[in-house]
Structure 1
């Protein structure tokens, strides 16, 4: 029986690239809740399916190593691939399947099949979106959006059944190279209010489209063209599973002070500009 690969076993299939942990950490990237086809199969070893192959990744202090032999799928994606995807291999009694082709998800019978797998209301959206892409755009449409501007891409994705602002931004950031895309949920909203004194929408009890866009624009102005990835770091840092890591690598006090001063300065500048506008309007009226 084939088994999951381990770097300590000295398998010749391993390949390595220079990648300092200060630039990429597999535990944070693959365990953050934003990836769905990877799981930790051994201490520091992660397994996933990419382009019809099963891979294992691990990381030493300054090297990223890969082995193309493994994978497992989580939750609904797991059941979807096991039921409709092609079997790739079995490792330690765990079966690894490829993601099913888009065409295989377009038949109307797929909706009920997915409901039986526990997809609930998402079953209809998944089947209808697949059908829309194949019939109206073609199988290469999603890939073509990688070269389109961010807002154009987000608007295009939102034409699909069941795709709102957050889902569209998740796809833009994670799959279509739109690094300024910033998915916002109530958790990110709380981070904006708690850590950055974001005041817009305080009277709102639910996250409206207007508040969603204001939060995204606020962070894009603060963090620039990589705002989406900066948001992902904050999101991960707030997860319970990474609290211990936060304690091990605390933010330096000087960095905290510098950030607070920066935010205070920006708020003051905005307030001063508003005062000037009010004085100008009074002068014109008089």
Structure 2
């Protein structure tokens, strides 16, 4: 019989963090919503969150091999994880006030009725290795399918942690765990990862092999202490990582709060709302245009430009109903990913073949 959960409070309002928005806006891909409880697996526990207007309540389910003592130390570890993960030392309200004073468009967006649905958007501070692999999976992809890929990695290669509400939870696999498969790339293709399988295999191999002694998980983690250019260039050494993916990792895992990852949507916002001088029918964001847009937003919003851009980006979306909170048992989710890939990979190949004549803007990687 499962032990009774002990719930504690983080006294933080929805204006500072809105779980239903932050956990579904394309930053993170492994949170599940089970009967209004958000769940996430770290190495030795399942973290549980639920929210009301005045607080975020948290609890955890320990690893199935550990006793559920519910002691103060375990509760404190969960609290520390959450404070770090959600960057709670940064006050979102102060940033909103600062941006509103500096930028008339942000002030207008802040007062608009659609924005009221998108308060509490903040940048997360995620595990660098998981963020790296997740955004390698993001190439030509959507949030729902990226989430299924991350779940497939956990089920296939991670450790079983425990169950919550009848749903099995697994940890995110290390490079060593991925490479424990005798034929990782082939297995990933079987699971529906398509061409991304090669990128994940190559990246895991570089992180663990003797051929690249300066490319390790420890070195990746140390990029939090380095400047943006050093971190960005380190990431570009890895297969499947182009400028945008590198910038997503810098912003969402490596403490580079001023970095603005640029894609089609951000380019259109820059043209429409921020007087960026560019061609509306531009087919390719070449490195110069990409960097010019990034610096354009940094000059407006300063040290937290990446945070400001995330608010503008999310508030500009028409819908966050991306399926990330749809719960399926892990095995059925993996099977569906594989089935979908049989159709989607063919379409992706078509997209890549036709990309030179496409009228949609792409980012060169």
TM-score (norm 2): 0.60
Aligned pair count reads 233
Displacement, 1:104?
A: 2.2
Displacement, 1:75?
A: 0.9
The 1-side partners of 2:229 and 2:278 are apart by 22
Q: Which residue of 2 aligns with 1:55?
A: 47
Alignment of 1:71-220 (within 5 A): 74-106=147-179, 109-135=183-209, 136=212, 137-202=215-280, 204-220=282-298
The 2-side partners of 1:201 and 1:132 are apart by 39
Displacement, 1:2?
A: 5.5
Q: Contact (CA 8 Å) 2:163, 2:169: kept in 1 or not?
A: yes
Q: Which residue of 1 aligns with 2:132?
A: none
Q: Which residue of 2 aligns with 1:25?
A: 18
Select between 135-144 and 103-112 the one with higher mean Cα deviation: 103-112
The 2-side partners of 1:242 and 1:105 are apart by 31
Displacement, 1:242?
A: 5.2
TM-score (norm 1): 0.75
Change in Cα spacing, 1:191 to 1:2, as seen in structure 2 (3 Å) is farther
Select between 60-69 and 77-86 the one with higher mean Cα deviation: 60-69
The structure having more radius of gyration, on CA atoms, is: 1
Moved over 4 A (4+): none
1:252-277 deviation digits (Å, cap 9, x = unpaired): xxxxxxxxxxxxxxxxxxxxxxxxxx
Structure number with higher relative contact order (C-alpha < 8 Å, ≥ 6 residues apart): 2
Q: Alignment RMSD, CA only?
A: 2.2
Displacement, 1:240?
A: 2.1
SS in 1 for 2:48: strand
SS in 1 for 2:319: helix
Displacement, 1:46?
A: 1.4
Q: Which residue of 1 aligns with 2:334?
A: none
Q: Contact (CA 8 Å) 2:149, 2:193: kept in 1 or not?
A: yes
Displacement, 1:109?
A: 1.3
SS in 1 for 2:33: strand
1:163-219 deviation digits (Å, cap 9, x = unpaired): 001110111111111101211111111111122222234452122221111110000
Out of 5, 29, 40, the residue aligned to residue 36 of structure 1 is 29
Change in Cα spacing, 1:111 to 1:26, as seen in structure 2 (3 Å) is same
The 1-side partners of 2:23 and 2:286 are apart by 30
Unaligned runs of 5+ in 2: 63-145, 322-365
Unaligned runs of 5+ in 1: 4-10, 244-286
Change in Cα spacing, 1:18 to 1:153, as seen in structure 2 (3 Å) is same
